[in-house]
Amino acid sequence: MPEESIDHIDFDELNKNAVSQPLVKHIYTADPSAHYFNGKIYIYPSHDIESDIPFDDLGSHFAMEDYHVLSMDSIDSEATDHGIALHVDDVAWAEKQMWAPDAAHKDGTYYLYFPAKKADGIFQIGVAVSDSPTGPFKAQPEAIKGSYSIDPAVFEDEDGSYYLYFGGIWGGQLQKYRNNTYNKDNELPTPNEPALLPIVAKLTDDLLEFAEEPKEIQILDAEGNLLLEADNDRRFFEASWMHKYNGKYYFSYSTGDTHFICYAIGDTPYGPFTYGGRILEPVVGWTSHHSICAIKDKYYLFYHDSSLSRGVTHLRSVKMIEIEHQPDGHIKTISPYTN
Ligand code: FUB
């Protein structure tokens, strides 16, 4: 939701009408990546903090330094905060801005994927390992080779393959890359060119490296054309997520400056994906970022908003709500403040 509209919000009324409430209130949390590991819900969010860094379009005021893992015994239980799972000071290659993370589980080991800026100001994605889903996690000494930009989301397919989706424009720096190569002079495409696309790479068996060159995944309109840069209501901005439903692959993402969480449907983890619609209308705060997690036979959207901080865009709170796949495969759109 654009910041200029926040002055007019009656937060007491808005919170009363919200379809869900923050899962924790003692710290600010955002970008929730939720997983159902061994019969329990684990949420891997960003840990938002106050910062005196001036606001800019690159998100410099999102100055997060560590990660906390939350867990819930069931969808109705209180969320438990397990404390610091990883701090930027313990990541040799990273300097600042511990943005949206995700996690995976394989053979009793847990992997935390996270983006951070190096001393040269460039984002890369790292991985840290633990034998517990709540950490503490030990970071690999270097970032994942060939990784770049932000918002890693890991997807375990039914055949045991793991894929890492990533990328985000503006502060996420994706516009600086073409064919996996950085050039500081690269910018966004012009309005009538195809929009930049999210990136995916299959992971190696140890889940620590890319098993292949990262590639773009295509998001197409109903006519089979790539979405254009000017199509701000539908084109990819950041916050990749993948879930599978009824044999189809659902790639979901944020449209950033238009504040929608949208999805596109495909037949393989690599796509192509055809735009399907909106999952979530704009929330309070500039950013919108989510995950979708199957818990027993239902699907839940984990998302965030800035209602607890009364509109401070970098002080967000994670929430959850059930979503519904309709018989034709489309997902019913959620309006976050219409309870
Ligand atoms: O939390 C920092 C950034 O804001 C995330 O990486 C983006 O997806 C947006 O939510």
Atom 1 in ligand 1: which residue has the minimum CA distance? Answer: 99
Between the CA of 327 and the centroid of ligand 1 the distance, in Å, is 32
Per-residue tokens: 61:
């005021």
Answer yes or no: are the C-beta atoms of 149 and 123 closer than 8 Å. Answer: yes
Between the CA of 223 and the centroid of ligand 1 the distance, in Å, is 31
Answer yes or no: are the C-beta atoms of 93 and 142 closer than 8 Å. Answer: yes
Could you tell me the pTM of the whole model? 0.97
Q: Give 206-224 as a DSSP string.
A: TSSSBSS--EE--EE-TTS
Between the CA of 177 and the centroid of ligand 1 the distance, in Å, is 19
Q: Which positions are annotated as active-site residues?
A: 31, 238
Tell me the pLDDT of the chain (339 aa) as tens digits. 666 567 788 999 999 999 999 999 999 999 999 999 999 999 999 999 998 888 888 889 999 999 999 999 999 999 999 999 999 999 999 999 999 999 999 999 999 999 999 999 999 999 999 999 999 999 999 999 999 999 999 999 999 999 999 999 999 999 999 999 999 999 999 999 999 999 999 999 999 999 999 999 999 999 999 999 999 999 999 999 999 999 999 999 999 999 999 999 999 999 999 999 999 999 999 999 999 999 999 999 999 999 999 999 999 999 999 999 999 999 999 999 998
Pocket test for ligand 1, best of 151, 258, 303 (most atoms within 8 A of CB): 151
Peptide bond into 2 cis (omega under 30): no
Q: Which amino acid is at 34?
A: A
Q: 107: helix, coil or strand?
A: coil
Atom 9 in ligand 1: which residue has the minimum CA distance? Answer: 287
Say how far apart CA 291 and CA 33 lie, in whole Å: 5
Q: Which residues line ligand 1 (CB under 6 A)?
A: 30-31, 46, 59, 62, 99-100, 150-151, 168, 238-239, 287, 289
Look at residue 6 in the predicted model and tell me its pLDDT: 72
Residue-wise pLDDT tens digits, 164-198: 999 999 999 999 999 999 999 999 999 999 999 99
Say how far apart CA 254 and CA 172 lie, in whole Å: 13
Atom 3 in ligand 1: which residue has the minimum CA distance? Answer: 99
Answer yes or no: are the C-beta atoms of 83 and 68 closer than 8 Å. Answer: yes
Peptide bond into 136 cis (omega under 30): yes
Say how far apart CA 184 and CA 175 lie, in whole Å: 9
Say how far apart CA 291 and CA 320 lie, in whole Å: 9
Please identify, by atom number, the ligand 1 atom nearest to the C-alpha of residue 48: 1
Between the CA of 160 and the centroid of ligand 1 the distance, in Å, is 28
Of 332, 280, 279, 337, nearest to 311 by C-alpha is 337
Answer yes or no: are the C-beta atoms of 101 and 94 closer than 8 Å. Answer: no
Per-residue tokens: 238:
């950041």
Domains of the chain: residue spans and CATH: 3-323 (2.115.10.20)
Pocket test for ligand 1, best of 33, 44, 46, 288 (most atoms within 8 A of CB): 46
Look at residue 296 in the predicted model and tell me its pLDDT: 94
Q: Which amino acid is at 115?
A: P
Please identify, by atom number, the ligand 1 atom nearest to the C-alpha of residue 62: 2
Say how far apart CA 47 and CA 37 lie, in whole Å: 21
Look at residue 5 in the predicted model and tell me its pLDDT: 65
Between the CA of 100 and the centroid of ligand 1 the distance, in Å, is 6
Answer yes or no: are the C-beta atoms of 225 and 193 closer than 8 Å. Answer: no
Answer yes or no: are the C-beta atoms of 6 and 284 closer than 8 Å. Answer: yes
